[in-house]
């Protein structure tokens, strides 16, 4: 297949049908392009404040009915959706590649995330959402029941690096819990989430329950947050601060997965052949545009040259190109603007004394936004590449003499999203992992094992975020807890005519007795 030939699945009629559901009463549009070529794929409507408010109004109306459905009936829709998402994965893959420029392997793997989320919560949701009865203050005569109720309408602001995965996977537990959703995808990557929503509706999701609005963040974000009952955001730390502040003023909750400057510590007993393949993916997977990707690698002094040379050799042989088949190992960056940002980090590092061991150049011969896999040496904290998130196919290598030094260097950042530790001794690696300040730590893997473990919450610490997706928390955050308390007999308080001093002594004695008997 020609590297510039649009897949046959992506007809103009198909694409126009996807964006037809986006409200845009002003007539303003945004040119959504194929990243490989710069060709305009579709004119994406841009939503006004009135459009957004109307979307929330329609979502609330649908949510009131949806929340009344028995959980079993809601889950049946997601059983069907699981099948539809997998049966149509290759069409989704074509969309993801066209709008984001990633290579086909990453695009296919992205399509697997929503079915994995569905599978997990199909098993877990009944236990999480079934009311739980607890003891009350007086044994046998009182009880308290924990009831989880949906928050209402959840606003989701999805990023461009994994538009289908985050656009759907963050919405699925919210929907299962009985909420409606209004999602704002990035303008550059709105097609794949729009297609995913159409598949959910084909599976039986009520029309109007899952709304989409489009526009640039500053134009759309404030109105979305002001109308939402909860906000889920994935993106930069700077934007996350703005969203968190506005959510706080509105007294609504939010979950923020933000930036990272993720480290990898390689211990001196590592198997170099196993390490180099995982490290290569951890740095260059999705052309470095993964929130959890590795940007700093700490290598032991006595094996530094060996491990450095192995990584540089592997990086230099990575195939890079624009293709809708499985040939290229590395695809494009998402846009020329982002290519320029990545290039500026490399140029700044070189100007301040860093050395490019491989890569370091844009590749306009391949497409508008391609950049070579790049390995740097001699990166310092006064360089952009040494302190801020590059979010591209660039990594810095660092020497260390002791494990304590490596841990100190790894923690020397304002971020704390993901980290990786490599060793031939799992217990030794675990001891290091315990000391790393990060929401996720992968042992003998770069990033995938932590993120794909859907039963365990995944989030960041420090400036990398608030809250988590996945695990029980990933669903329960979309609910409020109602406490239904029952008193069977009026035993709280002094009896009529009882001396209050006697009542106090009786109460204190009862509390001691209940503690000894362990009934409270």
Q: How many CB atoms sit inside 10 A of residue 520's CB? A: 13
CA distance from start to end of the chain:
70
User: Measured between alpha carbons, how far is 143 from 361 in angstroms, rounded to an integer?
Assistant: 67
Backbone φ and ψ for 208, nearest 5 degrees, come out as 95, -15
Beta-carbon contacts of 432 under 8 Å, excluding residues fewer than 6 positions away, are 265, 267, 403, 406, 407, 421, 423
User: Measured between alpha carbons, how far is 112 from 393 in angstroms, rounded to an integer?
Assistant: 23
Phi and psi based region of residue 77 (left: phi greater than 0; alpha: psi -120 to 50; beta: remaining): alpha
- Give SS3 for 310: helix
Active site residue 257: yes
E strands present in 276-410:
294-300, 355-358, 374-377, 394-400
Rg (CA), the chain: 26
Q: Tell me which of 110, 257, 329, 389 is the catalytic residue.
A: 257
Beta-carbon contacts of 350 under 8 Å, excluding residues fewer than 6 positions away, are 356, 360
User: Measured between alpha carbons, how far is 109 from 97 in angstroms, rounded to an integer?
Assistant: 12
Q: What's 11-57 look like in SS3?
A: CHHHHHHHHCCCCCCCCCEEEEECCCCCCEEEEEECCCHHHHHHHHH
Using the CB atoms, write b or e for 45-74: b if 16+ within 10 Å.
bbbbbebbbbbbebbbebbeebeeeeeeeb
User: Which among 196, 205, 6, 15 is positioned nearest to 110, based on CA atoms?
Assistant: 196
User: Measured between alpha carbons, how far is 211 from 154 in angstroms, rounded to an integer?
Assistant: 10
Beta-carbon contacts of 38 under 8 Å, excluding residues fewer than 6 positions away, are 367, 368
* Environment class of 401 (CB within 10 Å of its CB; exposed 0-12, middle 13-18, buried 19+): exposed
Centroid of chain to Cα 353: 35
E strands present in 337-478:
355-358, 374-377, 394-400, 418-422, 440-443, 458-459, 465-466, 468-469
Containing 194, the helix (H) or strand (E) segment is helix 191-202
**Which pair of tokens denotes residue 359?**
């890569």
Q: Which residues are catalytic?
A: 257
């Amino acid at each position: 297949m020609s590297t510039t030939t649009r897949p046959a699945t992506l007809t103009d009629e198909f694409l126009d049908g996807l964006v037809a559901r986006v409200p845009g009463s002003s007539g303003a549009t945004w040119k959504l392009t194929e990243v490989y070529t710069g060709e305009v794929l579709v004119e994406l409507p841009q939503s006004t404040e009135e459009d957004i408010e109307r979307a929330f109004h329609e979502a609330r109306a649908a949510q009131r009915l949806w929340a009344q459905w028995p959980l079993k009936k809601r889950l049946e829709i997601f059983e069907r959706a699981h099948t539809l998402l997998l049966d149509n994965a290759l069409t989704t893959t074509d969309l993801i590649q066209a709008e984001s420029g990633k290579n086909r392997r990453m695009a296919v793997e992205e399509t697997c995330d929503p079915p994995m989320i569905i599978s997990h919560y199909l098993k877990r949701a009944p236990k999480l959402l079934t009311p739980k009865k607890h003891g009350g203050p007086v044994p046998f005569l009182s009880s308290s029941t924990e009831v989880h109720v949906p928050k209402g309408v959840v606003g989701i602001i999805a990023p461009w690096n994994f538009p289908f995965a985050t656009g759907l996977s963050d919405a699925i537990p919210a929907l299962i819990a009985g909420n409606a959703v209004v999602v704002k995808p990035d303008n550059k990557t709105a097609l794949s989430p729009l297609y995913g929503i159409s598949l959910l509706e084909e599976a039986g999701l009520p029309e109007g329950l899952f709304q989409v609005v489009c526009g640039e963040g500053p134009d759309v974000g404030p109105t979305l947050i002001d109308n939402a009952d909860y906000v889920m955001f994935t993106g930069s730390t700077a934007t996350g601060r703005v969203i968190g502040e506005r959510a706080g003023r509105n007294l609504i909750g939010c979950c923020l997965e933000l930036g990272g400057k993720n480290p990898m510590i390689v211990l001196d007993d590592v198997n170099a052949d196993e390490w180099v393949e995982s490290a290569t993916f951890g740095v260059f997977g999705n052309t470095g545009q993964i929130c959890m990707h590795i940007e700093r690698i700490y290598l032991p002094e006595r094996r530094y040259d060996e491990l450095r040379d192995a990584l540089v050799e592997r990086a230099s042989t990575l195939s890079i190109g624009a293709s809708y088949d499985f040939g290229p190992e590395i695809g494009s960056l998402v846009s020329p603007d982002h290519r320029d940002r990545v290039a500026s980090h490399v140029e700044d590092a070189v100007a301040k004394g860093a050395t490019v061991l491989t890569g370091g150049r844009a590749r306009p011969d391949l497409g508008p936004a391609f950049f070579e896999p790049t390995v740097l040496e001699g990166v310092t904290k006064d360089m952009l590449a040494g302190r801020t998130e590059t979010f591209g196919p660039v990594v810095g290598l660092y020497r260390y003499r002791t494990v304590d030094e490596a841990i100190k260097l790894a923690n020397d950042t304002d971020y704390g999203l993901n980290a990786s530790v490599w060793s031939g001794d799992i217990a030794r690696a675990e001891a290091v992992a315990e000391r790393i300040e990060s929401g996720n730590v992968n042992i003998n893997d770069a990033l995938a094992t932590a993120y794909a473990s859907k039963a365990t919450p995944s989030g960041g610490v420090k400036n990398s975020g608030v809250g988590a997706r996945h695990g029980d928390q990933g669903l329960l955050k979309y609910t409020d807890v109602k406490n239904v308390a029952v008193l069977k007999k009026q035993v709280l308080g002094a009896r009529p005519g009882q001396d209050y001093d006697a009542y106090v002594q009786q109460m204190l004695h009862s509390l001691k007795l209940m503690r000894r008997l362990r009934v409270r």
